[in-house]
Amino acid sequence: MQRWVELVSSDTIELDEVVVRYRSGWQLGPVSATFPVGVSALVGPNGAGKTTMLAVLTGIKRPRAGTLRRDGQPVRRRREGSGYRAHIGYVPQECTWSPSWPVEDFLAFCARMYRVPSTQVRHRCQDVMSDLNVGQFAHQPIGTLSGGQKRRVFLAAALVHDPEVLILDEPTVGLDPGERISFRRHVVEQAASRVVVLSTHLMDDVALSADQVHLVDGGHITWSGTLPELMAAAGESDSQDHVSVAEQGYLHLMQGRAESELLEGDR
């Protein structure tokens, strides 16, 4: 995989005053954030703008204003965007593929799509199947797998070209508790050597996997910090039954923003 190493030496991606507007009038941004090696979580309610932000980070959606940067260098022109996307692994919330497609054939197709050299396709597929414990059902059709097994297959597909950046949209939605634990473990392992950005509204995923946390609401990043800083915010709020420390921190920070907006509106 030498070709990939030569093209990318990045260890951060960055959004710099990025704005995305839709015809409906809804707007993301301006948003600024830096995502280093490790797990960065985008947390917020449905409709907050998390998926739109991921679309910019993957290079799928071009912002109306602002800049996407890789290792400090802007990704602007179409050619730059194409080169950037070649080093992104992306697992969307909804993955739709032919249910009759055997797992190993699907991964080989993804490897070729990412332009992995033909001499290395089989090797890369074997590597990711081994890393993610997918080999045991390599010859089964995707449609016969459980929810957690499918998620591991799609994660393997996103990693088959050994990308510098891995982006996950609501990766554990619909998984049972055991599958969620297993999937989080795989994500943390991958984050040791690459940038991982995931969106979620499940605080367990944040508390057990994230290094950096960005709270997203109304198309804006309303708070950024480390997981310990998020949990420290819980100390400023009243203790609540059946609510984790991370959830208390989240609720405190989101409530504080809502109260601030009400005060601004009264002025």
Exposed e or buried b per residue across 19-32, where buried means at least 16 C-beta atoms within 10 angstroms of its C-beta = ebeeeeeebbbbbe
Of 168-172, 198-202, 243-247, the least confident: 243-247
Span 203-243, pLDDT tens digits: 888 988 899 999 999 999 999 999 899 888 877 555 565 57
Packing angle, helices 147-159 and 103-113, rounded to 10: 30
Per-residue model confidence (pLDDT) at position 174: 84
User: What domains sit in the chain, N to C, each tagged with a CATH number?
Assistant: 2-87+163-266 (3.40.50.300), 98-162 (no CATH)
Structure pTM? 0.85
Could you tell me if residue 221 is left (phi over 0), alpha (psi between -120 and 50 degrees) or otherwise beta? beta
pLDDT at 131 over 80: yes
Per-residue model confidence (pLDDT) at position 238: 55
Minimal CA–CA distance to 203: which of 49, 27, 13, 45? 45
pLDDT at 139 over 90: yes
CA distances in angstroms from 154 to 16, 68, 100, listed in the order given = 30, 25, 15
**Residues facing 39 on adjacent strands:** 196
Per-residue model confidence (pLDDT) at position 175: 87
